[in-house]
A and B are shown apart, each in its own frame.
Chain A
Amino acid sequence: MQNERIRQDYFNRDRILEQLRSDIYLSGTYVRDLLLEQDPSRADSHRRELELARARIEDNVAAYQRILRGEEHAAFQEFRTELDAYFTSLHPALEWDASQRRAYGYAFMRDSLLPRRMTIVHIADQLSAVNQVQMQGGNRQITNLFSRFRRTMIVFLVLALACGALLTAGSIRRVMRLERLSAARLSDAEHAREALRELSARLIDVQESERRSLSRELHDEVGQSLSALQLGLGNVAALIPATIAEARAQLSELRILAEKTMAIVRDMSLILRPSMLDDLGLIPAVQWQAREVSRNHNVFVQVHADSIPEDLPDDHKTCIYRIVQEALRNAVRHANAKTVHIDLHHSDLRQSDLRQSDLGQNAETLVLTIQDDGQGFLPEREKGLGLLGIEERVAHLHGTFRVDSTIGDGACIHVELPLSQRPAEVEV
């Protein structure tokens, strides 16, 4: 912008000076032509042309004066003085007639006109030179300006880059810190979950062993004592003579009470943990449970159990039994089922599907399916505590658990428990 203005200014001045120079030259030429002219009419025409040139010179001088710069002042003043002197010096010669011109013309040209013209042109050249210098000054100024601008730009750029780098470094640090933090939180949460899982497994274990010992205590100690009490009462009754009818009647009532209490204790013991599970094994316990439910709730419970190994691990026995118990409870209490099919089988994939065992999967599995014809439910919404408990138990034994049910179309529980435990995870 500024550059352009400076250049424009320079060209403007240069143009005026150029015109001045050429007009001054022309004026000299016109004077020479006049001095050499013999024909008066042509001399007049030269004179007019000279006047015109002079008028242009005056115009240009006036124009230049308007844009005059301080440092040109002296040169311009000199230029004007010389110019005035030049025209003044011309004056007498213009008035000469043809003979005078012929007589003095040449000498005038040589001695006055040409030197003066030279002087003026020289001054104009000086002005032009000044102008040139001015323009170069302008250029320098521009260059300076540019280099200053560039320096400023570089400084800004460097600053901006530094700021950016700082910002980036800060952001990266913060992101990394957040990432570390979130990784720590994640591992904390994972640990917490692991601990919770362990706790829940432990709770299940503890609950089961508590139940077992309570059940045994009730059955063996309380039950046996009641049996003994009953027998004792019978023996005492036998010793009492038939004549003391009142005592015999009371003893008989006591015996009935002992018998009822015994039945209650036995039921409590079986509810806690059926002794069949430990005494007879999984299948008899499941069959007993099925019969109990059939007997008390008018539900047809069918058990199919094929080739189940007798020496199942205790955890597996308990797990399967509790699942059956919970499923039957749901089928009776909530689903209003009329029939329940329990299918338990043992599948040995090592024989039938080598590919699976190659993948390191557990080849031996217990597969339990419990299907009822009740009113069904939405497993993802109505999963009660019981089913959650089953899930926990199954997960603890690395098994899979699935409930398929739709409203009005019964429910099917499907459980698979691997039998060959993975060594690393036996004692968790």
Chain B
Amino acid sequence: MTSIRIVLADDHTILRRGLRLVLEREPDFAVIGEAGNGRDAIDLVIRENPDVVILDIAMPLLNGIEAAKRIHEERLRTAVVILSMHSDEGYILKALRSGARGYLLKDSAETDLIQAIRAVNAGKAFFSPAVSKVLADDYIRQIQQQGVEDPYDLLTPRERELLQLIGELKSTKDIANLLGVSPHTVDTHRAHLMQKMNVHSIPELILYAMRKGLIT
């Protein structure tokens, strides 16, 4: 059995220890390194090429978001889970833009950490349920207060399917295979989708999918 190799990055030693203890309860998890700041985390990821890196947002020298961005830019295969105290969508959007696959609230780290690591390691997205709930509630309230029609209702079944797959962080190629169409068609559908939803980036689409509860 190949274990999932994990790097932990948080500037609080005691928190790292706590997380490590949680992870070590899983027999197929291996914490191969710890870092106290964003730079060390990047070095460690480059050197060790782990499956998953847990990055705390607030870290000295280089914060978790910036570190995630660098890892993403380096086209490393390591999946990033952002660890945060904020359930605000501003942070989530920023995490998504930085290329992170998972967004984990510290409040619920102990219960969700294992699940999050397994999800991102399997190429899926993971967001703390509390976060998804806040986003969904905000969205419903906003639609009601504004008294407008939910753009989701205007989507075709195909577009809804596409939205869900995008929310699951599937690549264009994967989506094309799953839907049995060409990647070019996927791009066209996605462009239509973004126009209908009035969003301008994939992370915003993902956020929207979360609001609609399409990702769990």
Contacts and interface: CB of A to CB of B under 8 A. Distances in A.
A224 interface: yes
Contact of A219 (B58, B65, B89, B146): B58
A57 B83 CA distance: 151
Interface residues of B, number: 33
A379 interface: no
Given A259-B107, A276-B90, A280-B91, A228 B85 contact: no
A234 B22 contact: yes
Interface stretch (A41-49, A119-127, A288-296): A288-296
A220 interface: yes
B25 to A, nearest CB: 6
B14 interface: yes
A266 B90 contact: no
Given A220-B58, A224-B15, A231-B22, A288 B90 contact: yes
B91 A225 contact: no
Nearest to A287: B90
B12 interface: yes
B57 to A, nearest CB: 7
Given A227-B85, A262-B107, A300 B58 contact: no
A290 to B, nearest CB: 10
A288 B88 contact: yes
Given A227-B109, A280-B94, A300-B145, A235 B12 contact: no
B86 A275 contact: yes
Contacts of B145: 294, 300, 339
A263 interface: yes
B177 interface: no
A40 interface: no
Contacts of A339: 145
Interface string B1-27: 000000000101011011101100100
B106 interface: yes
B208 to A, nearest CB: 15
Contacts of B91: 276, 279-280
A309 interface: no
Contacts of A225: 12, 14
Which interface class (under 10, 10 to 19, 20 to 34, 35 or more) fits A? 20 to 34
Q: Summarize B's interface: helix, strand, loop or mixed.
A: helix
Q: Summarize A's interface: helix, strand, loop or mixed.
A: helix
B21 A235 contact: yes
A231 B138 CA distance: 29
Given A266-B85, A294-B141, A280 B18 contact: no
A284 interface: yes
A303 to B, nearest CB: 11
Interface in B134-178: 137-138, 141-142, 145-146
Interface string A208-242: 00000000000110011101101110110010000
A300 B148 CA distance: 13
Nearest to A263: B107
A287 B91 CA distance: 12
A228 B18 contact: yes
A342 interface: no
Contacts of A279: 57-58, 63, 65, 91, 94
A219 B85 contact: yes
A201 interface: no
Nearest to B16: A228
Contacts of B86: 266, 275-276
Contacts of B57: 279
Interface string B99-128: 000000011011100000000000000000
A280 B57 CA distance: 11
Contact of B18 (A231, A259, A263, A294): A231
Contacts of A220: 58
A34 interface: no
B90 A280 contact: yes
Interface string A288-316: 10010011000010100000000000000
Contact of A224 (B12, B17, B93, B141): B12
A368 interface: no
Contacts of B93: 284
Interface of B: 10, 12, 14-15, 17-19, 21-22, 25, 57-58, 63, 65, 85-86, 88-91, 93-94, 106-107, 109-111, 137-138, 141-142, 145-146
Given A220-B58, A280-B90, A291-B138, 7 more contacts: A227-B15, A227-B18, A227-B107, A230-B107, A234-B18, A262-B85, A284-B90
20 contacts: A223-B85, A224-B14, A227-B12, A228-B12, A228-B17, A231-B22, A263-B107, A266-B85, A266-B86, A275-B58, A275-B86, A276-B91, A279-B57, A280-B90, A280-B91, A284-B88, A285-B90, A291-B88, A302-B146, A339-B145
